[in-house]
Amino acid sequence: MDRYLIFLLLSLVLVGCKRSTDTPTDPTPTPNITVSYSAVGASDGIGFGGSVPCLPFDPDCPNGTGYVYVLKRRLIADGRTVTLNNRSLPGAVLSDAVLTLARDIGRNDIIGTFLDQIVPFIPPSSTVITVFAGGNDTNVIAQNVRAGRGGADARGFIDTQVRQWGSDFDELIRRLRARAPTARLVAINLPNLGAAPYVANLTTLERSIVQYIAVGLTDRINATQSSGVLVVDLMCDPRVYDGSSFSSDGFHPNDRGYALIAELTYPALANGIAAAPSSSCAQRRLLPAF
């Protein structure tokens, strides 16, 4: 009888030990998430104007202060494994339509377009893609107006260019989806560039023209939300217009400006969260109507 009791007690102890192993009290580790991040942009994508700009197409640049590299580091800090393909091409415009306008006024400093020089190099394995387009395009269209294109019907000329740009932006989205079918697409709209420091020395009318163009392009970017693109609303965030967010050229952001862009973009990039961009904020009308 004693031997039987001893055997029974030992069996209960062993069963108890097994149960404690099967139900651990330690928290279950969060599984690692792999992100293949592709960035589509111009000089903003390499952080030009920041204290640590990066070389074009650099996937590392560990101390880069541009928003692309700030986003990469934040994703890593949140436990993700990140592969970056930064295809941002300094000086690029969206399409051949804008490139032709630039050539028409003697600008030969633009070396490529988003459609032809960026999209073909986006990896099909991309899981997230950010697109920041329109800054250089706004300037080219405005410079054409100042050069007399459109004559007395400058508004009609601008409207035609904005419609063409919007069609080309839709084409950009279609090509990116064809290239990377499973990627989440995040588009960053334009701020009101008519209120940026780089045009402060222009006349009020000229600045109003820049405003009209930038708002028009932003409306075309915002419209892609209806097709599933997540839109980050720079246009209507008052912090974007603070002078301390611009670099010395008055056009590109500085470190503070890039950090703000990263802050606004991160929820859409990482979690698929983006509020609908506003179509009626005060920042759209910082200058008299054109």
Domain count, the chain: 1
The answer as to whether 116 is a domain residue is: yes
Which DSSP helix (H) or strand (E) runs through 97? Answer: helix 96-104
**Which residues share a beta bridge with 84?**
37
The residue range of the domain holding 62 is 33-285
The answer as to whether 269 is a domain residue is: yes
Distance CA 269, CA 133 (A): 17
Query: What is the chain's percent helix, strand, coil content, to nearest 5?
Result: 50, 10, 40
Mean pLDDT computed over every residue of the chain: 91
Quote the pTM value: 0.89
Measured in residues, the chain has a length of 290
The whole-number pLDDT of residue 32 equals 58
The answer as to whether 180 is a domain residue is: yes
Q: Is the pLDDT of residue 10 over 50?
A: no
pLDDT tens-digit map of 182-239: 999 999 999 999 999 999 999 999 999 999 999 999 999 999 999 999 999 999 999 9
Which DSSP helix (H) or strand (E) runs through 266? Answer: helix 255-271
Q: Mean pLDDT over residues 76-92, rounded?
A: 97
Burial of 225 from C-beta contacts in 10 A (0-12 / 13-18 / 19+): middle
The answer as to whether 120 is a domain residue is: yes
**Rg, the chain, Cα only:** 25
The answer as to whether 193 is a domain residue is: yes
Q: How confident is the model at residue 20 (pLDDT cuts 50, 70, 90)?
A: very low
The answer as to whether 7 is a domain residue is: no
CATH code of the domain containing 70: 3.40.50.1110
pLDDT tens-digit map of 36-58: 999 999 999 999 999 999 999 99
Among 239, 241, 220, CA closest to 231:
220
Name the E strands within the chain: 33-40, 80-86, 128-132, 184-188, 230-232
The whole-number pLDDT of residue 283 equals 98
Q: Mean pLDDT over residues 111-121, rounded?
A: 97
The answer as to whether 84 is a domain residue is: yes
How many other CB atoms are there within 10 angstroms of residue 233's CB atom?
Answer: 21
The answer as to whether 15 is a domain residue is: no
Q: Is the pLDDT of residue 114 over 80?
A: yes
